[in-house]
Amino acid sequence: MVSLRVCAVFLALVCVTTTVHGAVSHVNRQGVKYKIDKVTDGILSEVLQSIRHEAHNVKELDLSGNVLKKINEADFQPFRNLELLNLSSNVFYEPVDLRSLSKLQTVDLNNNFLQEVLVASSIVTLHAANNNISQVICEGKAPSPKSKRIYLANNKIGSLLDFSNECRRNVEYLDLSLNEIDMVDFSELSDSAHSLKELYLRLNFIFDIKNRQNVAFQQITKIDLSSNKLAFMGAEFGAVKTATSINLSNNKLVLIEENLTFSTSITSFDLRGNGLQCDTLKKMFNKNKQLKGVAGATVLAATNQKLEQCSQNITRYTGPFCCEDLMAPFADRLIALKRKQHSLISGQPSEQEREECEREIRERQMAAEAIRNQYKTIIDNETRKNREKIQLTEQKNKLEEELPIVQNSYESFQRIVVETARELQISVTENPDVLALMRSIIQRFEYLYIEEQNKQSDAIRDWEMYHQKEIHQKEENERLKKLIVDVDVALNNANVTMQGLIQQEQTLAEKLKKSPN
């Protein structure tokens, strides 16, 4: 009790109070640690100014749980020795650029609305869970010799390349759970090959893992790739073969590369919730004798059951995991996927697929909620209300920004409709009702379509008549040909007859000449 009271007195003594525009902000100092409460954008500069004379002494500055929307880099200039800056649970929408704080080792930006993080390469620990981050930049000439720990769960990272090179160097711990990564190349972490110990990629959309430069993480102990879209556990997993905890549950795994080997000191191995071929599992367990027992223990610890609970009517097991006797594993799965895709596109997904989809969405939402709760801080009602006000203002501003775009596209659409109507000789009034005009255009097109169809059927009729005539003509020709032949024959006969007559005439004439009159 005594020590508590002493502490309270001490705090009261070092407490600096600044009052600006009726807002009261407190600076609490404990040695090199400073905490500022009740500070807003409008008075931050002033409050920092008030401790400027002791700035070199400040190693930790805690501004968490305020309603700060942005910070001015210049305000932090005097705080050259700052090692820890806590900006968590504010309302930062605009980029926070901390690149000039070259001794900064720890930054906490959890629970804001940031899209981008910019820090000096001295950074060792970066907390930025629960934001909207799609880019992280580490920059500067003095990288820390200590390895980095990066916590970025529940953000919008789409690829490891969204981290600048310096951020990917000498990383020991990387948590990117619940982001939007769809492809991973282990080589993208090649500058952490000797440092990476834990890699968390749960709840992304990863369907492919590559390892173009054949990186091997020599210190890795934990890799969590659960709830992704992987279908094949390929040779690339050789990169994490020292891992003692591997989680690939809830993927779409069918096959495992047959030559994969795992650490002999592995303690946790989770492949539940996949659609593996029995044979591939059998081969893996044969090649890695330690694995079957570990897998069994993992399932038992997680579910209190010896075997995984299989979905639907699959009841075959290899080790503790459900499996299927697929003859042509990928072909079988591909056909199933094609069917699914078709039913999704045709708008009639089966009950089962709908459930699966909903389950995945629910899982993501629950995980996001859990991560938010994990970093939740207690803030008073006034601060909460101010935060909400700023959030609403931001949303309003964003909508207002979008409004002209929507309006523009509406106007250009209206222009196209009016032009089309004019081309179709539909009368357009001064202030046309676009919907009514659209209806007239559709009607006109329908009319034109029918007309066109009529023309086409007329043309077809004409063509048929022509065709008939042609056939008739051909028959006529045949008939004439025959006639000509007949005439020829007749003519020939006539010629023969005539020739005969000429001969008889000549014979008669000779006889007449010879006979005496």
Nearest approach, Cβ of 445 to ligand NAG (angstroms)?
A: 38
Binding of ligand NAG by 130 (CB under 6 A): no
230 in helix, strand or coil?
coil
Nearest approach, Cβ of 119 to ligand NAG (angstroms)?
A: 14
User: Which 155-184 positions form the footprint of ligand NAG (CB under 6 A)?
Assistant: 156
Binding of ligand NAG by 134 (CB under 6 A): yes
Q: Contacting ligand NAG (CB under 6 A), which of 69, 149, 168, 202? A: 202
Q: Which amino acid is at 142?
A: A
Binding of ligand NAG by 270 (CB under 6 A): yes
Query: Quick one: 401 or 430, whose CB is closer to ligand NAG?
Result: 401
Binding of ligand NAG by 88 (CB under 6 A): yes
Binding of ligand NAG by 290 (CB under 6 A): no
Binding of ligand NAG by 106 (CB under 6 A): yes
Under rule CB under 6 A, how many of the chain's residues touch ligand NAG?
Answer: 31
Nearest approach, Cβ of 475 to ligand NAG (angstroms)?
A: 29
Q: Chain centroid to CA 403: how far?
A: 26
- DSSP assignments along 145-172, one per residue: SSPEEEE--SS----GGGB-GGGGSSEE
Closest CA to 90 of 125, 131, 149, 124: 131
Look at the alpha carbons of 500, 504, 505, 507 in this order and tell me if their dihedral is positive or negative: positive
Binding of ligand NAG by 373 (CB under 6 A): no
Binding of ligand NAG by 226 (CB under 6 A): yes
Are the CB atoms for 67 and 94 separated by under 8 Å?
no
User: Which 243-262 positions form the footprint of ligand NAG (CB under 6 A)?
Assistant: 247, 249-250, 258-259
Query: Quick one: 151 or 217, whose CB is closer to ligand NAG?
Result: 151
Nearest approach, Cβ of 425 to ligand NAG (angstroms)?
A: 44
Query: Quick one: 221 or 226, whose CB is closer to ligand NAG?
Result: 226
Nearest approach, Cβ of 480 to ligand NAG (angstroms)?
A: 20
Nearest approach, Cβ of 34 to ligand NAG (angstroms)?
A: 13
Q: What does the chain come to in residues? A: 517
Binding of ligand NAG by 131 (CB under 6 A): no
- DSSP assignments along 366-394, one per residue: HHHHHHHHHT-----HHHHHHHHHHHHHH
Nearest approach, Cβ of 202 to ligand NAG (angstroms)?
A: 5
**Rounded distance between C-alpha atoms, residue 364 and residue 347, angstroms:** 23
The H or E element that residue 16 is part of is strand 16-20
Distances (CA, A) of 68 to 89, 153, 287: 9, 22, 57
**Rounded distance between C-alpha atoms, residue 244 and residue 172, angstroms:** 16
Nearest approach, Cβ of 159 to ligand NAG (angstroms)?
A: 14
Q: Is 35 exposed, middle or buried (0-12, 13-18, 19+ CB in 10 A)?
A: middle
Neighbours of 195 (CB within 10 A): 19
Candidate ranges 39-47, 62-70, 286-294, 471-479; the one touching ligand NAG (CB under 6 A): 62-70
Q: Hey, which bits of 44-196 come out as E strands?
A: 60-62, 84-86, 96-98, 106-108, 116-120, 125-127, 135-139, 148-151, 171-175, 183-185
Q: Contacting ligand NAG (CB under 6 A), which of 377, 457, 497, 506? A: 377
Q: Contacting ligand NAG (CB under 6 A), which of 3, 346, 381, 431? A: 381
- Contact residues: ligand NAG, CB under 6 A: 62, 64-65, 86, 88, 106, 108, 113, 115, 127, 132, 134, 156, 202, 226-227, 247, 249-250, 258-259, 268, 270, 298, 302, 312-313, 377, 381, 495, 499
